[in-house]
A = this chain, B = another copy of it.
Amino acid sequence: MSVLISEVGPRDGLQNVKAVMPTEAKKAWIAAEAATGMREIEVGSFVPAKLLPQLADTAEIVAFARTLPGLTVAVLVPNARGAADAIAAGAHKLTLPLSVSETHSLKNLRRTHDQVIEEAARIAAMIRELPEGDRPHFEGSLSTVFGCTLEGTVPDAQIARLAERLMEAGCDEVGLSDTTGYADPSAVRHLVKLVRGVVGDKALTGIHLHNTRGLGLANVLAALECGLDTIDASLGGLGGCPFAPGASGNIVTEDLAFMLEAMGIDTGIDLDSLFKVRSIVADALPGEPLYGFVTDAGLPLGFTPATQREAA
């Protein structure tokens, strides 16, 4: 069994850090992490530079990341204009967030649900015009899907309908995003079943979870048991969502990779090399806290990663 960890630190992490990481440091981070065996990295977001100066160099970062062999270069796009920039830069994967809470959607993206679906349709049309080999993968991400800090729980029927509308608009896939850190293992099971019931198993494979309330890896376990195989995480737990108060705290990539490898699930990642990438991030963001448990405690005595066990 294998699972794809999608590193979101250079996007979700850095957009929540006040300091602007120098472009060369980002490149060093992404190159070093790709070299550990990380196969997908969300390297930035095509938002106006005045809104997120931390990510103003995303086009340059995408161009650089494309030179790294075997790496899927993912980006966030808030709208069709961002998607056009992402396509021009050559990103392999575009993620458009749609907040299932319309209140949160208006605050976060300044758009109603109808407007976001409209953007999704425009992006899908743009992608269809490209030669087949050049088309990026296009995911619609259902954010605040486990509940919203402004609205609370969002009704199942609304979530199901939005998932359906994203697919009808032309997304290749939808994803679940616990923007607010409200998820628990039962809710993960419930929502995977609900959304897969609408879009089919193949159109929901990934989840973005936070560790805001300490349940991040338990929620991952529930997601794996449901058959999801793409899990977002952030090196050192950098980042969160600035628009959902108190909702910071991505899952820590190092702890997630350790859990999976300990369970005999191949991530393709060399853990010791991964742990060393922390110093690149720490040096480039002085004073910014990095989180994680396994890097403090160290690997267990006699620990054998999944791939070495398979080979044995």
Contacts and interface: CB of A to CB of B under 8 A. Distances in A.
B302 A185 contact: no
Contacts of A213: 255, 258, 293-294, 297, 300
A299 B135 CA distance: 42
A174 to B, nearest CB: 22
Contacts of A182: 300
Contacts of A246: 296-298
A217 B214 contact: yes
A257 to B, nearest CB: 11
Contacts of A297: 181, 212-213, 246-247
A180 interface: yes
A81 to B, nearest CB: 32
Q: Taking the full assembly, how many copies of this chain does it contain? A: 2
Interface in A291-312: 292-294, 296-298, 300-302
Contacts of A284: none
A180 to B, nearest CB: 7
A181 B218 CA distance: 16
B214 A252 contact: yes
Interface of A: 147-153, 180-182, 184-187, 211-215, 217-218, 220-222, 246-247, 249, 252, 255, 258-259, 262-264, 292-294, 296-298, 300-302
